[in-house]
Amino acid sequence: MEKEEPRAWDGWWNEQIVRLVKLSMEQKDALTVLLTGRSENGFADIIRRMVDSRKLEFDLICLKPEVGPNSERFSTTMEFKQTFLQDLVLTYEQADEIRVYEDRVKHVKGFRDFFEDLNRSLQVVPAPRKPINAEVIQVAEGCTFLSPVVETAEVQRMINSHNKSIRQATSNATRSPYGRLRIKRTIFYTGYLISNADSNRLISQLLTPLLPSGLAESNDLKYMANSILITPRPAPRSILNKVGGIGKKLTWQVTGTAVFENKVWAARVAPVPATEKYYTENPLPVIVLAVRKGARPIDAGKIQNWHPVPAEKALTFETVVGEKVVLRVEEENPHEGEWESQFLNKNRKRRHQQERDQDILYPQSSQNDEPLSQTRPQPYYNSRYGGNSRHHDDGPRRGGSHRGGRGRGGAPRGKGHSSRGGARGRGRGRDGGPAGYRSLDDHAGYDGGYEDKPGPGGAGPVMNY
């Protein structure tokens, strides 16, 4: 706070929405509202300081109360926001239109359905007002990330605060049902990790020309282009010695591209120089560029025919040997050893959208090997030495800005599994190796669940911090 407030949280704003708020501020007949599911107790002060830092003036700043004005309790953010919007529309009965800006896909649909139902109810006679022209504008999400070190330190600070508060019942402000928490670590795979910049180059110069018209703008494509697999597990010392250890840099060149059944797009690569040693447990060093929704990256291993790339598309890029690591927050278990702590609690069966980004091309498992894990990690993750994350799925996001009454302006409309093996595979190389979506909005307190399910098995821990 002491660092960000003086710089007005520069780089963390959607500047187009900021401009729209300022236009609304200048329009005398418009009511400008900031509506969020963040709790009044936990976030009122910081949200006020954030908007003040940018000199944004809202007629109303509305956060989710613990108890509503009619003594109601809101189990979800959507329930709270719809109740508020109904009261807003009925209060300002002379308003002709309302515009809602929202970045969560499910909430966009929820608001559109809500206004349709509301206007239908206003067509009966007598009605408290005439139907209102409602437009719900989906805002394209722009992500900004903390550095992994800063992010991990901040999560650890919250865990420390939570663990301290649960010693006394009076300190359990969020009524969290959880005991002591800790960060647990799971290594998904060891690979030659590709930087974000090079990943973007591979996607724009290799993948995009291969895609059918309209697919890139749809929600059916998941971008990858983040690694070349070494082994789908923590690499033993023997393999790390072959690849030069964690942090070893290696240059590669794209030698071919291919598409499998119009579902998996991949690039074949070779080290530079060609005599450079490498190791992979796949038949060939391959980068999975993207997969269509429902397809499996492992299917890239079925590609037989590779199309050579012309000289101008024979991209070269640098990788660094690293591990794809997921850090997850779970309760401490005194009976759990370091090995057991790598695996997710089996009760947590809900799939998380960010976890899907960990899909990689695993080699086929051999008959006698056991899989690394049959459980799935939670979405809080951190990649060592690089990595990349691209997807179009809806995930945990935040509330939006709303303009009531007459107004103008617009915002860009947002555009829009893999079998994870873990069994041992056959390694090939030139080294003589062996052949072969809960938002913080919904964490105001534990009075019930997030959307459908409460507590364990639903979303992440409700913490005191």
Q: How far apart are CA 80 and CA 75, in angstroms?
A: 8
The predicted-structure confidence for 49-64, as pLDDT tens digits, reads as follows: 999 999 999 999 999 9
Rounded to an integer, the average pLDDT of 106-115 is: 94
Q: How far apart are CA 77 and CA 107, in angstroms?
A: 9
Count the helices and strands in the chain (H runs, E runs). 7, 16
Q: How far apart are CA 436 and CA 189, in angstroms?
A: 19
* Topology of domain 5-138, CATH: Rossmann fold (3.40.50)
| pLDDT tops 70 at residue 216 | yes
| pLDDT tops 60 at residue 325 | yes
Q: How much is the pTM?
A: 0.53
Tell me, what's the pLDDT at 366? 34
Q: Distance from CA of residue 169 to its chain's centroid?
A: 33
| pLDDT tops 60 at residue 114 | yes
Mean per-residue pLDDT over the chain, rounded: 76
For 232, 245, 433, the CA distances from 238, given in Å and listed in that order, are: 15, 10, 10
The percentage of residues in the chain with a pLDDT greater than 70, rounded to a whole number, is 71
Tell me, what's the pLDDT at 339? 63
For 144, 151, 161, 391, the CA distances from 12, given in Å and listed in that order, are: 7, 15, 25, 20
Tell me, what's the pLDDT at 376? 30
Rounded to an integer, the average pLDDT of 39-57 is: 94
The predicted-structure confidence for 406-437, as pLDDT tens digits, reads as follows: 333 333 333 333 333 333 333 444 443 333 33
Tell me, what's the pLDDT at 1? 82
For helices 77-91 and 105-121, the axis angle rounded to 10 degrees is 40
Indicate the pLDDT class of residue 394, thresholds 50, 70 and 90: very low
Tell me, what's the pLDDT at 341? 64
Give the highest mean pLDDT range of 91-100, 172-181, 385-394, 445-454. Answer: 91-100
187-326 maps to CATH 3.20.20.150: no
Indicate the pLDDT class of residue 19, thresholds 50, 70 and 90: very high
Greater confidence (238 vs 337) lies with 238
The predicted-structure confidence for 233-287, as pLDDT tens digits, reads as follows: 888 899 999 999 999 999 999 999 999 998 999 999 999 999 999 999 888 899 9
5-138 and 187-326: same fold? no
Answer whether 371's CB lies under 8 Å from 421's CB: yes
| pLDDT tops 80 at residue 163 | yes
Rounded to an integer, the average pLDDT of 184-207 is: 90
Greater confidence (139 vs 459) lies with 139
Indicate the pLDDT class of residue 11, thresholds 50, 70 and 90: confident
Domain boundaries, the chain: 5-138, 147-179, 187-326
The predicted-structure confidence for 296-318, as pLDDT tens digits, reads as follows: 888 888 888 999 988 777 899 99
150: number of Cβ within 10 Å: 10
| pLDDT tops 90 at residue 162 | no
Bridge pairing between strands 279-280 and 428-429: antiparallel
> Residues near 378 by Cβ (< 8 Å), separated by ≥ 6?
326, 328, 329, 330, 344, 348, 352, 355, 460
